[in-house]
Amino acid sequence: MREVLLELREDKSHLYFPDKCIGCATCVAACPKGELVIGSVGAVARGLIDKDFIEKRCQACVFCGMCAKACPTGALAIRKVEEKEGAKEGSEEDGESYLHRAISPTVVDDKCVHCGLCADVCPQGCITVTDRELAQDGSLRVEGKTVIDQELCVHCGWCEAVCPANAITVSKPFSGTFFRDENVCQACRTCVDTCPCNALFNRDWGPGEIVEKVTHSLTSVLKTDRKACLGCGNCVIVCPVNALSDPYLAAGHLNELDNKPLLEVENGAIVVVDQELCGSCATCSLICPAEAIWLERREVV
């Protein structure tokens, strides 16, 4: 994992791990000396600027370790450097993130069917599925290994949301209620671009119309193309709403259950049974081989 040396002073080094950073600026708020600066988060997240989220002034830092203690993902650390036989070896001090150590690791249990959807949606690319093969007991189960790199995981919860077997458990670093001051907001889109759950968006507006600068919503609308649909039923099986209603359906038994809460194949094409039950996880669109189902943003009236 890439590490950046922010500052070296006597027997201590201040380290930054960009791959773990989510640009939340908790460290900036926690620093009592104002030493840390967070840059253009939106532009960095979108890849428009090739730089890291965090920079350090290196003027008044006292190596208190508050930034590392407050970091929810363990992207900052204070390391003690010791001279041994001419080589420098580092050991982590108490400056390691308290929050990061307190958060339970993202785990996969025995219910996992190794479908790979979690790996497809992981924004950090920290999930891999290997050794996939059909079980030799005639059950048509898929055996394999689903491995999560805990050093890279930022606990965003995408994998848990799309898992059709409810086999992944994620402990998120933050919980609370979203709040935004309309008078202060500059509509810069930083929150929109960096939100790991796509819960924020900018509404379209017409001339002279006054709308919210940033809209908070987890709702989208499922759109389908019945002509393009192959009727394979993959989306019906992997849909978390359907899967939670009956594990038998999640195991692939498409036609043996009459009632599906969200998606169903009727007359050879997909239909949306109840739009209001959709959690906007996009699992259906990820697995569709014909691009016959997708999500569109629901306008808030």
End position of a domain, from candidates 65, 87, 102: 102
Query: For residue 175, is it within any domain?
Result: no
Same domain membership, residue 285 and residue 249: yes
Which has the minimum average pLDDT: 22-36, 83-97, 229-243? 83-97
Under the banding of pLDDT at 50, 70 and 90, the label for residue 254 is confident
Give the chain's mean pLDDT.
79
d(CA 88, CA 79): 11
| Domain of residue 291, CATH code | 3.30.70.20
Whether the predicted pLDDT of 50 surpasses 50: yes
Tokens of 250: 């999640």
Position 264 scores a pLDDT of: 92
Position 35 scores a pLDDT of: 92
Phi-psi region of 13 (alpha: psi -120 to 50; beta: other; left: phi over 0): beta
Whether the predicted pLDDT of 125 surpasses 80: yes
Query: For residue 248, is it within any domain?
Result: yes
Query: For residue 211, is it within any domain?
Result: no
Q: pLDDT by residue (tens digit) across 136-188? A: 777 777 888 999 998 888 787 878 877 888 899 988 766 666 677 878 877 77
Q: pLDDT by residue (tens digit) across 10-46? A: 888 999 998 888 788 888 888 888 899 887 666 676 6
Same domain membership, residue 78 and residue 15: yes
Same domain membership, residue 162 and residue 124: yes
Position 301 scores a pLDDT of: 45
Whether the predicted pLDDT of 228 surpasses 80: yes
End position of a domain, from candidates 77, 102, 127: 102
pTM over cut 0.85 = no
Q: For the chain, what is the domain count?
A: 3
Question: Burial level of 188, CB count in 10 A (0-12/13-18/19+)?
Answer: middle
- Measured CA to CA in angstroms, residue 4 lies from 24, 80, 134, 281 at distances of 18, 15, 43, 34
End position of a domain, from candidates 102, 119, 151: 102
| Radius of gyration over every alpha carbon of the chain, rounded to an integer in angstroms | 23
Same domain membership, residue 16 and residue 97: yes
Whether the predicted pLDDT of 83 surpasses 60: no
Same domain membership, residue 78 and residue 120: no
Which has the minimum average pLDDT: 13-22, 205-214, 222-231? 205-214
What is the separation of C-alpha 97 from the centre of its chain, rounded to a whole number of angstroms?
Answer: 20
Same domain membership, residue 17 and residue 89: yes
Cβ atoms of 179 and 166 within 8 Å: the answer is no
Domain that holds residue 290: 220-297
Beta carbons within 8 Å of 138's beta carbon, 6+ residues apart: none
Query: For residue 54, is it within any domain?
Result: yes
Same domain membership, residue 93 and residue 26: yes
Same domain membership, residue 11 and residue 88: yes
Average pLDDT of span 223-238: 89
**What residues form DSSP beta bridges with 77?**
15
Query: For residue 192, is it within any domain?
Result: no
Under the banding of pLDDT at 50, 70 and 90, the label for residue 224 is very high
Same domain membership, residue 89 and residue 12: yes
